[in-house]
Amino acid sequence: MSAPAMKTPVLDMRAISVTYGGRVPAVVGVDLKVRPGEIVGIIGESGSGKSTLAHSVLGLLPKAASLQGEHFDLAGTDMLSAGRGTLTALRGPAAAMIFQNPMTAFSPIHTIGRQLTELLWRDRDQATGQKRERIVAALRDVGIPDPIGKLEAYPFQLSGGMLQRVAIAAALLMKPQLLIADEPTTALDVTMEAQILHLMRTLRDTAGVAILIISHHLGVIAEICDRVAVMYAGRIVEEGTVETIFRQPGHPYTRALFACEPALIPTGARRLPVIAGEVPRPGGTGCDFAGRCLFCEERCLNCAPPWATAAADPSHHSRCHRSMS
Amino acid sequence: MAAVTATTAGETTIREPGPLQRAGITLAHVLSHPLGAIGFVLVVLIVATALFAPWIAPYSPTAISVKERLADPSLSHLLGTDQLGRDLFSRVIVGTRTAMTVALTALSVSIAIALPLGLIAGYGPRWLDAIMILVFDSVSSLPMIMLGLAVVVLLGPGVSTVILVIVLYSVPSYARLVRTQTLSLKTRDFIKAEQVMNAGTPRILFRHLLPNVIGPLVILACLDISTVITLEAGLSFLGLGVKPQIPSWGNILSDGFAVIRNSAVPVIAGGAPLILATVGFTFFGEALRDALDPKLNPERKP
Amino acid sequence: MTLFLLRRTALAAVILLIVAILLFSMMHMIPGDPTVVALGPRSTPEMREAFREMMGLDRPVLEQLSMFLGRLAQGDLGQDVWSRRPVLTMILEVLPYTVTLALASFVWAVALGVLLGCVAVVHHGKWGDWLIGLVSIAFVAVPSFVVALYSLLVFAVWLNWLPAIGAGAPGDIAAQARALILPSFAVGLGWVGYVSRLVRAAMIEAMGEDYVRTLRAYGVAETRIVYRYALKQALLAILSVIAIGFGGLLTGSVFAEIVFTRPGLGKMTYDAVMSRNYPLVMGTVLVTSGLYVTCMILADAVTAWLDPRVRSAL
């Protein structure tokens, strides 16, 4: 086993489910562990529940959502019994989050400096000048030119890429054990994307931060992650190291997902590959993917496949009847 | 809410709900909201009182009885009497009719004037539109009660002056609404299609624009009823509205104010129906607007 | 920024011009001798003569208008034909009372309104929110003079806690403040409801913004988010409405001044109407309109100044 696997996980979820309005399940029985210094990716189509999962880690779910499960541990705190005060205390030092759209992630009427200072509210005894220095240092670390001048800037005066850097600088300031990134590069152009990903990797390497990155963009996942979980209809259907998942995907859904990746489609293909049908509502009998699966069999319709470990690789799991045989 | 009916020929047609049915749906929507339910009850109460006022009032609202001045409420005089011995309950009841008559007359006149003005501004040439908007803005930027006072000095008090003041107040905002609606309809495809087919301007105005514009206008007028009632009562309270002998809530308040240290009943009796009416019409209007056209809510950003 | 304000000022000037023309032409639109129309049948021949001379009534109408506007441009609002005093001087004497009353009402409206709005947001979707919504609409609907009369009845006549008439003796700050409480409450109550609804709507919108999620994700406490961020954004959003409302409060003081027998612009206008003193009425209407449009310009300027997005775009 690799070195990070030995440490106690920062995030340990077992059989976690999230339901909206008491009826609509969004996340079903998810097991997820993230260890210090590890970058874990979650991929899946829109509506697969990956964003809900990411928000549930920080207790940021809307009021209508309810979360149940066997075990949910964030940085050594039991989240299932955590009250509002505990949650607020955990957000920041235990885990922080950066969001998809950097343009709206900051208050439009407060300066960057003011907002970053706000995040340091815990260090009450620290002088304003010291906080300022820390913020400038963090901004410089994420490669923002003229960091002192940027303190007085308003969000609308910065580009999306710059703002996402500021968001990462905010994460740097908080020194969280876990950074959750919900589609961090989706709103950015390609060169910005590469730089942001590089920054996140540096953050892991220098500060040992664990990162949970949500994306539907396979390139992003392949470039940065150590481990990948594939989500479909609220469940994790396959999980393994990035090499295993990309080289030898076990689940038909993962394979279908790769087939649809624009970068991987051979040039000159006549028709764009698609996964026929739509994501079903989670919680039916049988395999959720059965209705869209090319290899669907009798047992797939009647019986939900169990979470199985590949014989060749103990870190590779999948939820498919065929992959077990 | 279209009903699907199978006809004998075996084909299905979708029947549009008729106007009555649509009104029923809207009313159900209004009543489902506590705000609308309270408002509706109050509005029905007030309108019924106004309609049947002469039959409800136990005495003549103008009959003076010197012996019974400022009598306390009793079984024979439910709300007591004022300083001239007139029965306050009867005055309040008949005052309801005065308030409603003035409000409805003034609003009808306002709509009748605002409709063509707004259509001209919206459909006519750009320069005319610009001038009209400037005039509307100037008039609505006038402090209303001040304008009312200026009109009263010149014309003298009376019902027609009150109506004129209300019309002056309402027309700019109504015409603006009609203009905005017209402008947005003008660019719609069905109007353009008519224009391309060389339909005459009157046809476009009356067949297409008018029916689409009148709905929002009525909602606005509905929301305005309480303001209009307030304006009439306010002017009457100042002695500048309807003639003192005509029973009106404002006059009752004005008479009561003069004797407020002797008896609290007249002021309370004149103010209470005014509160019920303004609150009732506002609640009902708000609920109606939410039911019919949530876009009109000024607090909601576009 | 300057260009923007200049444009707004120009518009305000045009509005005032139209108001002046309207006031002037109303006098001529009514059939009969304009002096009788303006001063009433009981005015003395001397007064009519003075008015005729002041307005230049024996000259052609257009010349009268240009004379009238020319004098207005120089800040000359004419002479009161009854007391022969300059109208502007008379107005400036009572203006401080009305402005004080409007300011006090403004304090009621903003303090209570923002408080109610915040409480409604904290109880969003629960019965507290619903109740505040209902009460707020009722506050908006109820006529201010009824509020004035009822509060006069309860606090001045029955309980005898606060004075029923006057504005307090000059120099006696405590008495002036006490005399201000009831009238300003009556004028401000409608705006309490209005402000509370606006604050509620704007804050609910602000709480749904992405940046609120960011602040939450970094462990910033909920109360801090509500009062430091959402409230600031909400106040910014409603600021222009509130500032325009200040103009409304100025005119709303007419009834309060009459009910509580306070000196002020409203009371003066009312007295002028009762004695059919059109020159004075023209003056007060023009001055209140001027204050009104000034508030509108100020509202725009303040909004532009406080909102960094608008500020840089101008």
Domain residue spans of chain B? 20-61+78-292
For residue B278, the model assigns a pLDDT of 92
Question: Can you tell me the distance from the alpha carbon of A110 to that of A157, in angstroms, rounded to the nearest whole number?
Answer: 12
SS (H, E, C) B265-295: HHHHHHHHHHHHHHHHHHHHHHHHHHHHCHH
Q: Residue C157 and residue B230: Cβ atoms within 8 Å? A: no
Angle at B191 between CA B187 and CA B197, to 5 degrees: 130
For residue B106, the model assigns a pLDDT of 92
Tell me: pLDDT of B275 over 90. Answer: yes
Q: Residue A60 and residue C213: Cβ atoms within 8 Å? A: yes
Enumerate the residues of chain C whose CB falls inside 8 A of the CB of residue A118: 215, 220, 224, 228
Q: Measure CB to CB from residue B271 to each of C138, C150, C205 and give the nearest one.
A: C150
Residue A140 lies in a domain: yes
Say if strands A210-215 and A178-182 run parallel, antiparallel, or are unpaired: parallel
- Which residues span the domain enclosing C45? 2-73
User: What DSSP string runs through C10-43?
Assistant: HHHHHHHHHHHHHHHHHHHHSSS-HHHHHH-TTS
Tell me: pLDDT of C286 over 60. Answer: yes
Residues C157 and C306 occupy one common structural domain: yes
Question: Can you tell me the distance from the alpha carbon of A318 to that of A83, in angstroms, rounded to the nearest whole number?
Answer: 34
For position A272, which CATH number holds? Answer: 3.40.50.300
**Min Cα–Cα distance to chain A from C68, Å:** 47
Residues C253 and C284 occupy one common structural domain: yes
Residues A45 and A123 occupy one common structural domain: no
For residue A264, the model assigns a pLDDT of 62
Angle at B102 between CA B96 and CA B103, to 5 degrees: 85
Question: Mean pLDDT, chain C, as a whole number?
Answer: 82
Among A235, A255, A221, residue whose Cα is nearest residue A307: A235
Among A156, A155, A55, residue whose Cα is nearest residue A112: A155
To test the contact with chain C by mutation, choose from A57, A77, A107, A115 the residue with the greatest count of C C-beta atoms within 10 A, namely A107
Question: Can you tell me the distance from the alpha carbon of B83 to that of B257, in angstroms, rounded to the nearest whole number?
Answer: 11
The two three-digit tokens of residue A205, written as one number: 């390497």
For residue B46, the model assigns a pLDDT of 92
Give per-residue pLDDT as tens, A231-280. 888 888 888 888 888 888 888 888 888 877 766 666 666 666 677 676 66
User: What DSSP string runs through C66-103?
Assistant: HHHHHHHHTT---B-TTT--BHHHHHHHHHHHHHHHHH
Closest residue in chain C to residue A175, using alpha carbons only: C218
Q: Residue B138 and residue C18: Cβ atoms within 8 Å? A: yes
Tokens 């009433």 found at: C40
Residues C240 and C296 occupy one common structural domain: yes
Residues C279 and C241 occupy one common structural domain: yes
Tell me: pLDDT of A198 over 60. Answer: yes
DSSP tag of A4: G
Among C73, C102, C120, where does a domain finish? Answer: C73
Residue A100 lies in a domain: no
Among C27, C88, C16, residue whose Cα is nearest residue C56: C27
Residues C303 and C166 occupy one common structural domain: yes
CATH class assigned to B20-61+78-292: mainly alpha
Question: Can you tell me the distance from the alpha carbon of C175 to that of C1, in angstroms, rounded to the nearest whole number?
Answer: 43
Q: How far is CA B271 from CA A302, B148, B198, B275, C157, in A?
A: 73, 21, 57, 6, 16
Closest residue in chain C to residue B252, using alpha carbons only: C146
More confident call, C296 vs B293: C296
Please say whether the beta carbons of B64 and B86 come within 8 A: yes
Three-state SS at A40: strand
Q: Residue C219 and residue A106: Cβ atoms within 8 Å? A: no
Tell me: pLDDT of A106 over 50. Answer: yes
For residue C245, the model assigns a pLDDT of 75
Q: Measure CB to CB from residue C211 to each of A106, A121, A154 and give the nearest one.
A: A106
For residue B302, the model assigns a pLDDT of 30
Residues A12 and A26 occupy one common structural domain: yes
Interface of A with C (CB under 8 A): 58, 60, 84, 88-93, 96-97, 99, 101, 104-111, 118-119, 121-122, 154, 156-157, 167, 170, 174
Question: Can you tell me the distance from the alpha carbon of A221 to that of A289, in angstroms, rounded to the nearest whole number?
Answer: 22
Q: For residue A255, what are the contacts with CB-CB under 8 A and spacing of at least 6?
A: A249
Residue C282 lies in a domain: yes
More confident call, A95 vs B140: A95
Residues C254 and C176 occupy one common structural domain: yes
> Residue A228 forms beta bridges with which residues?
A41, A240
Instruction: Tell me whether residue C2 is exposed, middle or buried, using C-beta atoms within 10 angstroms of its C-beta: 0 to 12, 13 to 18, 19 or more.
Output: exposed
Residues A88 and A211 occupy one common structural domain: yes
Chain A adjacent subunits, 3+ CB pairs under 8 A: C
Residue C84 lies in a domain: no
Residues A236 and A312 occupy one common structural domain: yes
**Min Cα–Cα distance to chain A from C302, Å:** 14
For residue A237, the model assigns a pLDDT of 87
Confidence of residue B214 (pLDDT cuts 50, 70, 90): confident
Residues in chain B: 302
Angle between helical axes of B88-123 and B159-186 (0-180°, round to 10): 40
- Which residues span the domain enclosing A171? 105-175
Give per-residue pLDDT as tens, C47-84. 778 777 777 777 787 888 888 888 888 878 877 877 77
Closest residue in chain A to residue C232, using alpha carbons only: A109
**Min Cα–Cα distance to chain C from A85, Å:** 9
Give per-residue pLDDT as tens, C135-151. 998 888 888 888 888 88
Phi, psi values for residue C309, rounded to 5°: -70, -45
**Min Cα–Cα distance to chain C from A96, Å:** 6
Q: Measure CB to CB from residue C288 to each of B146, B152, B238 and give the nearest one.
A: B146
The two three-digit tokens of residue C240, written as one number: 């222009």
The answer to whether C and B touch (≥3 CB pairs < 8 Å) is yes
Residues A268 and A299 occupy one common structural domain: yes
Q: For residue B174, what are the contacts with CB-CB under 8 A and spacing of at least 6?
A: B110, B111, B114, B115, B118, B217, B220, B221
User: Where is mean pLDDT largest: B22-26, B140-144, B192-196?
Assistant: B22-26
- Span A219-231, mean pLDDT? 88
Residues A259 and A235 occupy one common structural domain: yes
Lowest mean pLDDT, pick from B4-13, B62-71, C286-295 = B4-13
- Span B155-175, mean pLDDT? 87
Among C47, C184, C193, C179, residue whose Cα is nearest residue C106: C184
Total domain count, chain C: 2
Residues A183 and A299 occupy one common structural domain: yes
Residues A190 and A41 occupy one common structural domain: yes
Lowest mean pLDDT, pick from A181-185, A267-271, B69-73 = A267-271
Residues in chain C: 314
Residues C63 and C119 occupy one common structural domain: no
Tell me: pLDDT of B5 over 50. Answer: no
SS (H, E, C) chain B: CCEEEECCCCCEEEECCCHHHHHHHHHHHHHHCHHHHHHHHHHHHHHHHHHHHHHHCCCCCCCCCHHHCCCCCCCCCCCCECCCCCEHHHHHHHHHHHHHHHHHHHHHHHHHHHHHHHHHHHHCCHHHHHHHHHHHHHHHHCCHHHHHHHHHHHHCCCHHHHHHHHHHHHHHHHHHHHHHHHHHHHCCHHHHHHHHCCCCHHHHHHHHHHHHHHHHHHHHHHHHHHHHHHHHHHHHHCCCCCCCCCCCHHHHHHHHHHCCCCCCHHHHHHHHHHHHHHHHHHHHHHHHHHHHCHHHCCCCCC
Among C41, C73, C105, where does a domain finish? Answer: C73
Question: Can you tell me the distance from the alpha carbon of A282 to that of A288, in angstroms, rounded to the nearest whole number?
Answer: 7
> Residue A317 forms beta bridges with which residues?
A239, A309
Residues A230 and A320 occupy one common structural domain: yes
Residues C216 and C248 occupy one common structural domain: yes
Among A168, A115, A175, A114, residue whose Cα is nearest residue A142: A168
For residue C312, the model assigns a pLDDT of 66
Question: Mean pLDDT, chain B, as a whole number?
Answer: 79
Q: Residue C220 and residue A118: Cβ atoms within 8 Å? A: yes
Confidence of residue B11 (pLDDT cuts 50, 70, 90): very low
Phi, psi values for residue A100, rounded to 5°: -65, -50
Give per-residue pLDDT as tens, C101-126. 888 988 888 899 989 988 888 787 77
Residue A99 lies in a domain: no
Q: For residue A163, what are the contacts with CB-CB under 8 A and spacing of at least 6?
A: A102, A103, A105, A106, A155
Tell me: pLDDT of B4 over 50. Answer: no
Tell me: pLDDT of B57 over 80. Answer: no
Q: Residue A96 and residue C218: Cβ atoms within 8 Å? A: yes
Residues C168 and C65 occupy one common structural domain: no
Question: Mean pLDDT, chain A, as a whole number?
Answer: 82
Give per-residue pLDDT as tens, B90-101. 888 888 999 999
Say if strands B12-15 and B3-6 run parallel, antiparallel, or are unpaired: antiparallel
Q: Measure CB to CB from residue C214 to each of A84, A105, A122 and give the nearest one.
A: A105
Q: For residue A16, what are the contacts with CB-CB under 8 A and spacing of at least 6?
A: A27, A29, A30, A31, A32, A53, A56, A67, A68, A69, A70, A72
The answer to whether A and B touch (≥3 CB pairs < 8 Å) is no
Tokens 């014989």 found at: A311
Question: Can you tell me the distance from the alpha carbon of A229 to that of A236, in angstroms, rounded to the nearest whole number?
Answer: 6
- Within 136-175 of C, beta carbons closer than 8 Å to B belong to 137-138, 140-143, 145-146, 149-150, 152-153, 157-158
The two three-digit tokens of residue B40, written as one number: 């509706």
Question: Can you tell me the distance from the alpha carbon of B299 to that of C134, in angstroms, rounded to the nearest whole number?
Answer: 15
Q: How far is CA B194 from CA A67, B184, B185, B206, in A?
A: 57, 15, 12, 13
- Within 233-292 of C, beta carbons closer than 8 Å to A belong to 233, 236
Confidence of residue B45 (pLDDT cuts 50, 70, 90): very high
**Other C-beta atoms lying within 10 Å of the C-beta of residue A175:** 12
Enumerate the residues of chain C whose CB falls inside 8 A of the CB of residue B234: 143, 145, 255
- Span B38-65, mean pLDDT? 85
Q: Residue A104 and residue C210: Cβ atoms within 8 Å? A: yes
For position C207, which CATH number holds? Answer: 1.10.3720.10
Task: Report yes or no: C131 at the A interface, CB cutoff 8 Å.
Answer: no
Task: Report yes or no: C253 at the B interface, CB cutoff 8 Å.
Answer: no
Tell me: pLDDT of A173 over 90. Answer: no
Question: Can you tell me the distance from the alpha carbon of A27 to that of A66, in angstroms, rounded to the nearest whole number?
Answer: 10
Total domain count, chain A: 2
- Span C226-232, mean pLDDT? 82
Q: Residue C142 and residue B234: Cβ atoms within 8 Å? A: no
Please say whether the beta carbons of A116 and A104 come within 8 A: no
DSSP tag of C112: H
Q: Residue C18 and residue B155: Cβ atoms within 8 Å? A: no
**Other C-beta atoms lying within 10 Å of the C-beta of residue C90:** 19
Residues C137 and C61 occupy one common structural domain: no
Q: Measure CB to CB from residue C134 to each of B35, B138, B155 and give the nearest one.
A: B35
Confidence of residue B3 (pLDDT cuts 50, 70, 90): very low
- Within 181-220 of C, beta carbons closer than 8 Å to A belong to 209-211, 213-220
**Min Cα–Cα distance to chain A from C217, Å:** 6
The answer to whether A and C touch (≥3 CB pairs < 8 Å) is yes
For residue A8, the model assigns a pLDDT of 84
Torsion angle in degrees (nearest 10) through CA of B299, B300, C3, C7: -60
Say if strands A308-309 and A317-318 run parallel, antiparallel, or are unpaired: antiparallel
Question: Can you tell me the distance from the alpha carbon of C268 to that of C282, in angstroms, rounded to the nearest whole number?
Answer: 12
Going B289 to B293 to B294 to B300, the CA torsion angle's sign is: negative
For residue B42, the model assigns a pLDDT of 92
